């Protein structure tokens, strides 16, 4: 057990750092840095901001950010948040696995049905069957070209994106966030407060996000709007396939 504020202050003074320089380097406002050193955590908007700022400030000073977050959790975190990780995971996993089995079985049935319909259509040699046109998802012009060449398979030319092209916009209010390439130990692409009306763009195979107020943001991934962020968690992983919530530490 140690004093969070005194430890941060001593590390800052040893390095002869002033608040304007730290504010520029961490993108954390000076009044929040002073609040951390005074352990006046009530000045910050909430636990999510406290933990994020603690980790960022400590690591900026060359300290172990996770150690400071753990110390804050043991002394100051709310009872409700402390009880959350103890929820037994066994029953939800079992239900999820059952749901996945049902989804896979239905997908297999649909795939077999589609193959039978397509095979029947090609066996008839008829190109006007509306069911076949729907499965191929092509226009009448492209269907005629495919029939003439006799070599282009249905769905050819479609490529699954491998990069996550993410647009983040603060549409409903300010949101503090950290964005890293690949994962929590990756290169920091952005760290700071995205003010209402501002946006940021990122392109990587994998993006790791820590968000202070997810509800204040709207996102577009590879040109498609992310309808709603999954859950109310702080940490998220973004790939070309989508956005998913990560378990908090």
pLDDT in tens, the chain (249 residues): 789 999 999 999 999 999 999 999 999 999 999 999 999 999 998 889 999 999 999 999 999 999 999 999 998 865 444 444 444 444 545 454 566 777 778 888 888 887 777 666 655 444 444 433 333 343 444 443 444 444 455 555 567 889 999 999 999 889 888 999 998 889 999 998 989 999 999 999 999 989 888 888 889 999 999 886 655 558 888 999 998 888 765
pTM as predicted: 0.44
Half-sphere exposure for 25 (CA within 13 Å, toward CB): 15
**Separation CA 5–CA 10 (nearest Å):** 9
**Residue 221, φ and ψ in degrees, nearest 5:** -115, 115
Contact criterion met (CB below 8 Å) for 170 and 195: yes
Q: Are strands 224-226 and 164-170 parallel, antiparallel or unpaired?
A: unpaired
Q: Count the helices and strands in the chain (H runs, E runs).
A: 9, 9
Tokens matching residue 86:
């103890």
Q: Which residues contact 5 (CB under 8 A, 6 or more apart)?
A: 36, 37, 38, 39
Contact criterion met (CB below 8 Å) for 215 and 46: no
Q: What's the residue count for the chain?
A: 249
**Separation CA 44–CA 120 (nearest Å):** 65
**Separation CA 179–CA 217 (nearest Å):** 14
Q: What is the pLDDT of residue 118?
A: 64
């Amino acid at each position: 057990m140690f004093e969070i504020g005194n430890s941060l202050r001593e590390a800052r003074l040893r390095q002869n750092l002033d608040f304007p320089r730290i504010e520029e380097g961490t993108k954390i406002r000076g009044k929040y840095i002073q609040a951390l050193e005074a352990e006046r955590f009530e000045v910050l908007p909430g636990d999510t901001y406290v933990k994020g700022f603690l980790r960022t400030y400590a690591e900026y000073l060359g300290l172990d950010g996770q150690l400071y977050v753990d110390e804050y959790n043991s002394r100051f975190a709310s009872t409700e948040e402390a009880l959350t990780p103890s929820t037994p995971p066994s029953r939800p996993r079992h239900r999820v696995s059952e749901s996945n089995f049902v989804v896979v079985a239905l997908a297999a049935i649909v795939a077999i049905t589609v193959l039978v319909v397509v095979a029947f259509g090609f066996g008839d040699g008829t190109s006007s069957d509306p069911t076949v046109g729907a499965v191929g998802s092509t226009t009448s012009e492209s269907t005629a070209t495919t029939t003439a060449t006799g070599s282009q398979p249905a769905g050819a030319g479609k490529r699954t994106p491998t990069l996550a092209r993410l647009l983040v916009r603060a549409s409903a209010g300010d949101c503090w966030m950290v964005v890293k390439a690949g994962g929590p130990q990756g290169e920091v692409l952005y760290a700071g407060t995205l003010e209402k009306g501002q946006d940021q763009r990122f392109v990587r195979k994998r993006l790791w996000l820590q968000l202070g107020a997810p509800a204040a943001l709207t996102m577009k991934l590879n040109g498609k709007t992310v309808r709603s962020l999954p859950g109310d968690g702080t940490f998220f992983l973004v790939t070309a396939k989508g956005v998913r919530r990560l378990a908090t530490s």
